[in-house]
Amino acid sequence: MFETIFIKPLFNFLILIYNLLPIKDLGLAVIIFVIIIRLILYPIFKSSLKSQMVISKLQPEITKLQKQYKNDQAKQAEALMELYKTNNFNPLSGFGSLIIQIPILIALYQVFLNGIRNLRFDWLYSFVSKPLTFNTLFLGSIDLFKPSIYLAILAFIFQFVQIYFSSKRTLSTQQKFINRITLFISPFLTLIILIPLPSVISVYWLITTIFSIVQYYFIEKSFKKLDNSSNGKISTT
């Protein structure tokens, strides 16, 4: 069921892009594929990121209320809900966005790890032609079916940059500590995971990370403008 609803449509879309390219290059097809998918998911990504930014902005007030009503959970919950209401913030908005993204991210990973690596052309729909030639050399030099430490290192570097920028808005001491740990551990885990895998996964990971950094920059810029024009009250709805 999951394969039929998510994996096969994405696999067919990627092969369709490859077929339409005048230059048959799997790497270029993957880049275009990732950009289109990220643009489609942009409203969800924006909602999730905006929720993170708002909760970071409200963190000092949240901490204050938690200390003030630490012995009365009912009043604490009531005060927090009033704070969220005053700032037009829905605490469940980010969670909903995450739930929507999870199956898509899993499917994308399977498209590359299983569909592309194992050449599952039996997944193709009748209107999507099987490629006459399947060029796995990215820019004529990197075989995307083989591991590439260079692409893995690039993915590592850009993930470090992504986490660094996303952690700048963190205000609480606890959040700063967690983000500091994440800043160093997560990129290294990415590097360890990607090194033995086909480099097509590294290309996907790298382009996704770069696109996320660009999206984060523009969303944060938009957030600051809204923040300044609405006296600090930002809606996530």
Per-residue pLDDT of the chain in tens (237 residues, 90 and over written 9): 888 888 999 999 999 999 999 999 999 999 999 999 989 888 877 777 777 777 777 777 888 888 888 787 888 888 888 888 887 777 666 666 667 777 887 888 889 888 888 889 999 999 999 998 889 899 888 999 999 999 999 999 998 888 877 766 555 555 666 666 766 788 888 899 999 999 999 999 999 999 888 888 887 777 666 666 555 555 554
pLDDT at site 69: 80
Q: Is the pTM of this model over 0.85?
A: no
Instruction: Copy the structure tokens of residue 142.
Output: 């990197």
In angstroms, rounded to a whole number, what is the distance separating the alpha carbons of residues 140 and 135? 9
The residues spanned by each domain of the chain are 2-229
